[in-house]
Structure formats: structure tokens, C-alpha cells
Amino acid sequence: MGYTYKYPRPALTVDAIIAAKGNRQTKILLILRKADPYKGKWALPGGFVDIDETLENACKRELMEETGLTNVELSQFYTFDAPDRDPRDRVISTVFYGFLNEPMPVKGGDDALEAKWFPIKLLPEMAFDHAVIIGKFIHEINVIDYD
């Protein structure tokens, strides 16, 4: 079923914020990007939504493909829609989040060179607008550090 539209359409992505408590601090799961844009920069796990899947299923799929994590309960957080948030195209991202009791083993896969847990207060330079996304998450969701 193909459609042709007179007007341009934005692309739709999902991103996952996975937070874990461990060693008296909250950690966030990030992936190291394998390809441009932002090749070699850290980002939230995520990617483009397939035409036949829900946003939540797309987020679970991307999380599994890029980090190996499965069976994480996700909640929808916020939709980020700044027109210039992705240099490739007009891309709108719906962000989901989930909490784990402790950091689980992860391994980079698909278009992630590496997956790694970072202390929420010591994040590396981020790709796209992911630092803004994490900042909003820290501000709006009760993410407590113990130190």
C-alpha cells in the first residue's frame, strides 16, 4: 500500500532511557554510534519506527538490537520535535523510559559499536539532542542519586 503525498512528512523515531541503581548512584545506558551522523558519539538506544509496529514495540526492538536488553518494562515519557534535532531530516522522537534494580550486562549490536552504563551525573558528550532529553528526564522523573 503505497501513498504519495503532496507535502513532506517527518520521520518517526523512538529512544530509550534505561536507568539503573547501582553502587549508590543512578546510571544511564548509552550506546556508541557506529555511523554518521555523530559517528563515535554516545547516544540513547533508539532508532526509526517500522511501518508495521507500535512505538513501544519499536523501542523494545531497538533496545534489544543495540544493547541486548530484553524484558524491560517501558513507559512513554515525552515526544521531542524540534525541527533541527536531527541533521539528516525532519525527525520526531518519542522517548520511553524504564528502571532496573541494577545495571545489567549489555553489549553493543546493530548500529551500536558499544553499550555502556554511565553515572547520571557524569555523562559523556552526547549525539543529537540527547543531553537535553536526559536533562528533562532528570528534572521531571524522580531520579535520585545516593551520594
User: Nine-digit cell at 74?
Assistant: 517501558
Please identify which of the residues 73, 102, 114, 140 carries the catalytic annotation: 114
* DSSP code for 85: S
Half-sphere exposure of residue 94: CA atoms within 13 angstroms, side-chain side: 15
In angstroms, the first-to-last Cα distance of the chain is 55
Q: Of 80, 94, 89, which is closest to residue 8 (Cα–Cα)?
A: 89
125 is catalytic: no
Q: Which residues are catalytic?
A: 114
